[in-house]
């Protein structure tokens, strides 16, 4: 099928490549000329395991191309919208300017080159009510297209796998049954290679589909902040949050995932999505329903601040002039994404307080240099830790969590580590002579 993907950021670029991988003829559109050039050459503009291969193969075999010219989407049956919906500069709400700009251009192309049964399929995370607005927009412009909301649940680091083998697919369909059934059948055809036997494919109205996405991210954020709040209690009492989380996780109703206490959640999704959700609830007059998310956000901010406070406390109050090695810059491992990264927050705060900070990260250093040229970096953990008075593990890359405390101990000035992800074995590090500080993690016999 001839498909367009509008917006080739993280979500859109991966989606475009995966749709081509399914055998469709895909054109990806983005306003960023440099990004489009790289994608068109089959080069991944960000780090994502497995993506570069899928991209290069499909560009090479001619099923996938990229352009800045919206005119080239003419004739496509399905237009996926994957533009960014970041937090507004002022306030908590989502900035829909990219979405509206894309729609303006797309509607103009669809008006000039009508395609029978065309679909506009939204994948971006949007405030509830957006799909209905876009459907009305098409109708007002005399464009006979059906809008569907098809939220994306992919995780960075697993983006290709999550797109090709998702755990569920949701179609948000219009109230008009005939139009909805026709749209459902077209999307079933698009996703024929994905909809394997037994994989849940849920049909819902627009509002439900839009809310599923923000509800899912809010739940994940709440789970992380819940365990981080418990970590605060553990710190106050001498309990150990990792053992506690393990015991909680054995209850099937709770489950072990997303209960890793540490410096908290970051990235381009969870933080801005919970804020936009609160803002939308306020507009709808049901802000009380989501006031708990303010607390979720607050707990999350406190944990990164706590990591800074631990460093200050370690040095008796001031970090000025102290040599600190920071392991990790990305918001999570297997990603070079620095958006709202807790590691970056800690690094910039310590630099701001006059510490002599050296940051390392296996993948994210080019992005760090570009945006924060004043932050010192080193190519690997050993180089970063040379003569350090304090080591802080803030992104749990495997190359950091498997460091040998004995060998690392030989090159630092002081054997002190803050494990911001509770990813190290405290006993092994203490046995090698290190002072270990976890996040809500006590050093106990049991
Ligand atoms: C998140 C969701 O998990 C995806 O389902 C969703 O599609 C995506 O946002 C999106 O809206 O696009 P992602 O931002 O890639 O995916 O990252 P997560 O794996 O959810 O991790 C988010 C943050 O939480 C990271 O900083 C991670 O370190 C932190 N985290 C995660 C914890 O601190 N503790 C945990 O137990 C788990």
pLDDT at 102: 98
121-168 confidence digits (pLDDT tens): 999 999 999 999 999 999 999 999 999 999 999 999 999 999 999 999
Say if strands 2-6 and 118-122 run parallel, antiparallel, or are unpaired: unpaired
Bridge partners for 149 per DSSP: 122, 172
What's the whole-number mean pLDDT along residues 193-222?
A: 96
| pLDDT range class, residue 305, cuts 50, 70, 90 | very high
| pLDDT range class, residue 218, cuts 50, 70, 90 | very high
What's the whole-number mean pLDDT along residues 339-346?
A: 98
pLDDT at 19: 98
Kindly give, in sequence order, each residue whose CB lies less than 8 Å from that of residue 181, ignoring residues fewer than 6 positions away: none
What is 2-199's CATH topology? Answer: Rossmann fold (3.40.50)
Question: Does residue 269 have an active-site annotation?
Answer: yes
> Over pLDDT 70: what percentage of the chain?
100
Does the CB atom of residue 12 touch ligand 1 within 6 A? no
Does the CB atom of residue 245 touch ligand 1 within 6 A? no
- CATH superfamily to which 218-437 belongs: NAD(P)-binding Rossmann-like Domain (3.40.50.720)
Residue 78 clears pLDDT 90, i.e. is over it: yes
Do the domains 218-437 and 2-199 match in fold?
Answer: yes
Q: How many residues does the chain have?
A: 446
Does the CB atom of residue 166 touch ligand 1 within 6 A? no
Domain spans of the chain?
2-199, 218-437
Nearest to 261 by CA among 209, 308, 312, 226: 226
pLDDT at 445: 81
Q: How far apart are CA 207 and CA 149, in angstroms?
A: 9
Q: Which atom from ligand 1 is nearest to the alpha carbon of 270?
A: 9
Q: How far apart are CA 275 and CA 294, in angstroms?
A: 8
Cα–ligand 1 centroid distance for 395 (angstroms) = 13
Cα 147 from chain centroid? Answer: 25
What's the whole-number mean pLDDT along residues 340-344?
A: 98
pLDDT at 329: 98
Shortest-distance Cα residue to atom 20 of ligand 1:
155
Does the CB atom of residue 265 touch ligand 1 within 6 A? yes
Q: Which of these is catalytic: 138, 234, 269, 385?
A: 269
Determine contact, residues 326/360, Cβ cutoff 8 Å: yes
79-100 confidence digits (pLDDT tens): 999 999 999 999 999 999 999 9
Q: What is residue 9's DSSP assignment? A: S
């Amino acid at each position: 099928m001839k498909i367009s993907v509008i917006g080739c950021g993280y979500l859109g670029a991966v989606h475009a490549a995966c749709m081509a991988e399914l055998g469709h003829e895909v054109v990806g559109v983005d306003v960023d000329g440099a990004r489009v050039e790289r994608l068109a050459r089959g080069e991944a503009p960000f780090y994502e395991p497995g993506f570069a291969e899928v991209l290069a193969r499909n560009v090479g075999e001619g099923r996938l191309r990229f352009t800045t010219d919206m005119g080239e989407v003419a004739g496509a049956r399905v237009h996926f919208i994957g533009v960014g919906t970041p937090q507004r500069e002022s306030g908590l709400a989502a900035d829909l300017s990219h979405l509206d700009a894309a729609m303006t251009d797309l509607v103009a192309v669809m008006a000039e080159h009508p395609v029978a049964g065309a679909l506009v399929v939204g994948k971006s995370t949007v405030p509830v009510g957006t799909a209905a607005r876009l459907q009305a927009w098409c109708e007002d412009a005399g464009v006979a297209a059906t809008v569907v909301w098809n939220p994306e649940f992919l995780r960075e680091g697993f983006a290709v796998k999550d797109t090709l083998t998702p755990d569920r697919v949701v179609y948000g369909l219009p109230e008009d049954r005939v139009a909805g059934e026709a749209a459902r059948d077209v999307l079933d055809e698009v996703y024929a290679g994905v909809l394997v036997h037994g994989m849940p494919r849920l049909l819902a109205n627009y509002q439900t589909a839009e809310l599923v996405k923000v509800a899912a991210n809010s739940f994940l954020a709440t789970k992380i902040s819940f365990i981080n709040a418990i970590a605060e209690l553990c710190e106050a009492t001498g309990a150990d949050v990792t053992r506690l989380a393990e015991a909680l996780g054995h209850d099937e109703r709770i489950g072990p995932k997303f209960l890793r206490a540490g410096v908290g959640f970051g990235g381009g999704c969870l933080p801005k999505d919970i804020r936009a959700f609160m803002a939308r609830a306020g507009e709808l007059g049901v802000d009380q329903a989501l006031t708990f998310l303010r607390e979720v956000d607050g707990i999350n901010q406190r944990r990164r601040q706590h990591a800074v406070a631990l460093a200050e406390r370690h040095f008796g109050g001031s970090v000025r002039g102290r040599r600190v090695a920071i392991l990790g810059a990305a918001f999570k491992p297997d990603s070079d994404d620095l958006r709202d990264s807790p590691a970056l927050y800690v690094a910039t705060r310590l630099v701001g307080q006059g510490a002599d900070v050296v940051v390392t990260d296996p993948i994210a250093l080019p992005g760090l240099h570009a945006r924060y040229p004043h932050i010192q970096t080193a190519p690997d953990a050993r180089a970063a830790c040379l003569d350090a008075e304090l080591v802080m593990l803030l992104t749990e890359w495997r190359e950091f969590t498997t460091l040998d405390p004995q060998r690392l101990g030989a090159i630092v000035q002081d054997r002190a580590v803050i494990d911001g992800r509770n990813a190290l074995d405290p006993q092994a590090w203490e046995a090698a002579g290190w002072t270990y500080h976890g996040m809500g993690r006590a050093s106990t016999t049991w």
